Amino acid sequence: MTKTLNNRAWFFVLPVFAIVAFSAILPLMTVVNYSVQDTFGNNQFFWNGIGWFQELLDPSSQLGEQFLSSLMRTLLFSAIILLIQVPLGIAVALSMPREGWPVALCLVLMALPLLIPWNVVGTIWQVFARGDIGLLGWTVNSLGIDYNYTGDPIDAWVTIIVMDVWHWTSLVALLCYAGLKSIPDAYYQAARIDGASRWAVFRTIQLPKMRRVLLIAVLLRFMDSFMIYTEPFVLTGGGPGNATTFLSIDLVKLALGQFDLGKAAAMSLVYNLIILAICWVFYTVMTNVDAERERVEA
Amino acid sequence: MARITLDHLAHAYKANPRTAEDYALKEINHVWSQGGAYALLGPSGCGKTTLLNIISGLVRPTRGRVLFDDLDVTDLSTEARNIAQVFQFPVVYDTMTVRENLAFPLKNRNVPRDRTARRVEEIAGLLDLTRVLDRKASNLTADMKQKISLGRGLVRPDVAAILFDEPLTVIDPHLKWQLRSTLKEIHRALDITMIYVTHDQTEALTFADKVVVMHDGAVVQTGIPEELFERPTHTFVGHFIGSPGMNILPCRVEGTTAFIGSTMISLKRAYRTLSDGEHIELGIRPEFVRLQPKGAGLPVQVRRIDDIGRTRIARVEMNGRPLAASIPDDISIEGSEASLVLDPNHVHIYANGHLVAGEATGGHAA
């Protein structure tokens, strides 16, 4: 293949570079700048080198311990979210109607939670799960189950997870549904002729054809759940105690609550790198399966 | 192995069909004999895929029965029918190797592993797939994938018939011939009934022992390729088969004479006086219409001459009606005036589209 070289191309990508520089690179560099300095207010800054990073990554320090526990909570949360939402999303997609007016109805109903602003979702569930006036909280309590998400850490976790499942499972389901719709009828007909069971059809036709959309779904849900802030902030404010203080909540407390710009900047960078690293792992693992197959064939 | 009988079969996709137009498939009675190679030929939308899907059980007919030998299978599910089907677009299971693909139908039917393995090797040998057996099926070429689809049908030793739904659509032209001859060989080797759906007359005529021509949801003629060519029983068959198709001209018939406008054509056979209400047409294939220099015969104007390689076809006009005629090799036509000579043995008369038999006479030449 011959490549056409044309230096005018640079002229066309220049505006994009400019926008990215202003919107992403400059702010990021500001954060990098803060992360190596200390401040005592009054806009006075002192060089601190990699001090903040050392403290952050040292679990025996107070900052390090706090960071590690928030990180573990966030990782656990993301893991639970993926484990629930991906299989559930696939199941919902599989049971959705394929044609006729129920399709439109289903799509609209499922898109609804996705359209609600995040702080409104938090507010809805904050009221919904209250023991005194919330429909859910009151019902659960009157069934004899002691449920109080503001007092009990487990209850708080369950509430946040159920809220997130309610909010985001339809995204996974819609993506999977799009994947399923792209499978030609002939595949199902051939499978019937070959005598394949329902499970075999899922394993050999539907799941392989959904793999690409599932990659997108897993990446999106991981990133979103790992960065979750608004809903738990509105619902529990990170409590009870620190039970639902995820990394993002921790970060905001540090940066805006205590105005520890240096620590917060260092934490932002590490947080960012963790997300990038995990996404890279997901992406590599899931696309490698493809590459592996093609290599075997070649 | 089975004979397949279609008994008063009809299908409508709409609920509560009333008129004939509601039926995608009009009533059909047909017997596919065991071991035959059939082609189901017709233009897109004529109901041939519907018919195929009814035989394989993917579609349940609105009326009528499907019998395998003497067993009524109308209500049997696809998997219970011992039918294999190859689709227009190749279907392979992407995640499996070719071997696993071929073994899949047997695995689903709980056939013992060693027997499956033996059978897969055997079929792979037959289809020339042995050297790719351990490769993944997903990245093979379309013709290989079609062979795998076919192979998944063939591995089942009990399979009664293999149905092909335009299987060569996505195959490269130079591989079509190869794959088609593979099909023929397999048909000879395995004595399986094969029904091959296509809209391509070359495919149909080269593959099949017997061709079933469908038009507008109904079977219009069943016969060996020669019959379809020489004695089309319906103007549609005349027009659809052949390249170019049959010349069909509205006419009036009295006894042994046909009148096309003011032109008189003598016929080999005598026809009853055909009533006015019927739409009478005369049909003759271009192969049996010879173009001659102006002289004896029917006067025509030459519009165009197409050289189609082996022969030349003249597009002419007779009394304002277009016709196709063949030009004998030794004749060259100058100017636009010429004459036509019709072979009376191959002139057919149609009433409302259907062939009228007529009665043999001693016959006088035109």
pLDDT digits (tens, 9 = 90+) for B227-272: 888 888 888 888 888 888 888 888 888 878 888 877 788 888 888 7
What type of residue sits at position A218? V
DSSP string across chain A: -PPPP-THHHHHHHHHHHHHIIIIIHHHHHHHHHHTEEE-STT-EEE-TTHHHHHHT-TTSHHHHHHHHHHHHHHHHHHHHHHHHHHHHHHHHHHS--SSHHHHHHHHHHHHHHHS-HHHHHHHHHHHT-TTT-HHHHHHHHTT----TTT-HHHHHHHHHHHHHHHHHHHHHHHHHHHHHTS-HHHHHHHHHTT--HHHHIIIIIHHHHHHHHHHHHHHHHHHHHT--HHHHHHTTT-STTTT--HHHHHHIIIIIS--HHHHHHHHHHHHHHHHHHHHHHHHHHHHHHHHHHHHH-
At residue B278, the pLDDT reads 78
- Dihedral sign for Cα B110, B111, B117, B123, please: negative
Whether the CB of B111 is below 8 Å from some CB of chain A: the reply is no
Best interface-test mutation with B: which of A193, A206, A289 has the largest number of B CBs within 10 A?
A: A193
Best interface-test mutation with A: which of B49, B95, B96, B145 has the largest number of A CBs within 10 A?
A: B95
By a Cβ cutoff of 8 Å, what residues of chain A touch chain B?
184, 186-187, 189-190, 192-197, 200, 204-205, 208-209, 293-294, 296-297
- Of B85, B104, B136, which is closest to A296 when you measure between CB atoms? B136
Chain B positions touching A193 (Cβ under 8 A) are: 56, 78-79, 83-85, 105, 153
Residue with tokens 């010879």: B290
At residue B365, the pLDDT reads 42
- Beta-bridged to residue B7, according to DSSP, are B65
Q: Are A73 and A246 in contact (CB under 8 A)?
A: yes
B275 pLDDT tier (thresholds 50, 70, 90): low
Question: CA nearest B91: which of B158, B37, B165?
Answer: B165
β-pair type (B218-223, B37-41): unpaired
Residue A227 CB: number of other CB atoms within 10 A? Answer: 16
Tokens of B71: 């067993």
CA distance B166 to B150: 13
Contact A196 B104 (CB under 8 A): yes
Q: Which residues contact B118 (CB under 8 A, 6 or more apart)?
A: none
At residue B343, the pLDDT reads 86
Domain boundaries, chain B: 4-235, 247-360
| % helix, strand, coil for chain B, step of 5 | 25, 35, 35
- Residue in A closest to B82 by C-alpha: A193
Chain A positions touching B58 (Cβ under 8 A) are: 189, 192
Burial B116-126 (b: 16+ CB within 10 A, else e): beebbeebbeb
Contact A190 B87 (CB under 8 A): yes
Per the omega criterion (within 30 degrees of 0), is the bond before A240 cis? Answer: yes
Q: How many Å is the Cα radius of gyration of chain B?
A: 25
At residue A2, the pLDDT reads 64
Chain B, 21 to 60: residues with Cβ < 8 Å from chain A are 53, 56, 58
From B364's Cα to the closest Cα of chain A, the distance in A is 57
Chain A positions touching B77 (Cβ under 8 A) are: 192
Contact B108 A196 (CB under 8 A): yes
Residue B247, φ and ψ in degrees, nearest 5: -75, 130
Alpha-carbon distances of A123 from A135, A234, B16, B137, B178, rounded to whole Å: 14, 6, 53, 52, 68
A291 pLDDT tier (thresholds 50, 70, 90): low
Contact A186 B91 (CB under 8 A): yes
- Residue in A closest to B136 by C-alpha: A297
Whether the CB of B99 is below 8 Å from some CB of chain A: the reply is no
Chain A positions touching B13 (Cβ under 8 A) are: none
CA distance B187 to B193: 8
A166 pLDDT tier (thresholds 50, 70, 90): very high
- Of B84, B89, B135, which is closest to A193 when you measure between CB atoms? B84
Question: CA nearest A247: which of A69, A118, A105?
Answer: A69
Q: How many Å is the Cα radius of gyration of chain A?
A: 24
Tokens of B309: 């390689």
At residue A1, the pLDDT reads 53
Whether the CB of B151 is below 8 Å from some CB of chain A: the reply is no
- Of B79, B93, B139, which is closest to A193 when you measure between CB atoms? B79
H/E stretch holding B168 = none
Whether the CB of B101 is below 8 Å from some CB of chain A: the reply is no
Tokens of A76: 């656990």
Angle at B152 between CA B72 and CA B34, to 5 degrees: 40
Interval B50-68 mean pLDDT: 86
At residue B327, the pLDDT reads 86
- pLDDT, one tens digit per residue, over B141-150 is 888 888 898 8
Question: CA nearest B252: which of B351, B354, B343?
Answer: B351
Chain B positions touching A205 (Cβ under 8 A) are: 93
- Residue in B closest to A291 by C-alpha: B139
Question: CA nearest B154: which of B126, B112, B188, B185?
Answer: B126
Q: Kindly report the average pLDDT of chain B as a whole number.
A: 84
Contact B58 A200 (CB under 8 A): no
From A297's Cα to the closest Cα of chain B, the distance in A is 6
End-to-end CA distance of chain A: 20
Chain A positions touching B85 (Cβ under 8 A) are: 189-190, 193
Interval B20-42 mean pLDDT: 84
Asked if residue A298 has pLDDT above 70, the reply is no
Contact A193 B83 (CB under 8 A): yes
Question: CA nearest B246: which of B259, B262, B263, B229?
Answer: B229
- Dihedral sign for Cα A146, A150, A154, A160, please: positive
CA distance B83 to B208: 19
CA distance A86 to A218: 7
Best interface-test mutation with A: which of B13, B49, B85 has the largest number of A CBs within 10 A?
A: B85
At residue A292, the pLDDT reads 64
A293 pLDDT tier (thresholds 50, 70, 90): low
H/E stretch holding B228 = helix B225-230
Residue B320, φ and ψ in degrees, nearest 5: 85, 0
- Residue in B closest to A197 by C-alpha: B108
Coil, helix or strand at residue B89: coil
Whether the CB of B83 is below 8 Å from some CB of chain A: the reply is yes
- pLDDT, one tens digit per residue, over B294-317 is 877 788 888 888 887 778 888 888
Best interface-test mutation with A: which of B54, B104, B141 has the largest number of A CBs within 10 A?
A: B104
Q: How many CB pairs under 8 A join A and B?
A: 64
CATH homologous superfamily, domain B247-360: Nucleic acid-binding proteins (2.40.50.140)
B363 pLDDT tier (thresholds 50, 70, 90): very low
Contact B79 A192 (CB under 8 A): yes
- Dihedral sign for Cα B309, B310, B312, B313, please: negative
At residue A161, the pLDDT reads 92
Chain A positions touching B83 (Cβ under 8 A) are: 193
Interval B127-142 mean pLDDT: 86
Tokens of B128: 């020339």
Q: Is ipTM beyond 0.95?
A: no
CA distance A53 to A55: 5
- Of B58, B79, B94, which is closest to A195 when you measure between CB atoms? B79
Whether the CB of B167 is below 8 Å from some CB of chain A: the reply is no
Domains and CATH numbers, chain A: 59-297 (1.10.3720.10)
Taking the CA atoms of residue B146, residue B85, residue B29 and residue B185 in that order, the dihedral angle to the nearest 10 degrees is 50
At residue B276, the pLDDT reads 67
Q: Are A212 and A176 in contact (CB under 8 A)?
A: no
What type of residue sits at position B98? V
Interval A157-161 mean pLDDT: 91
Question: CA nearest B321: which of B241, B267, B265?
Answer: B265
CATH code, residues B4-235: 3.40.50.300
Whether the CB of B149 is below 8 Å from some CB of chain A: the reply is yes
What type of residue sits at position A292? E
From A208's Cα to the closest Cα of chain B, the distance in A is 7
Whether the CB of B139 is below 8 Å from some CB of chain A: the reply is yes
Whether the CB of B247 is below 8 Å from some CB of chain A: the reply is no
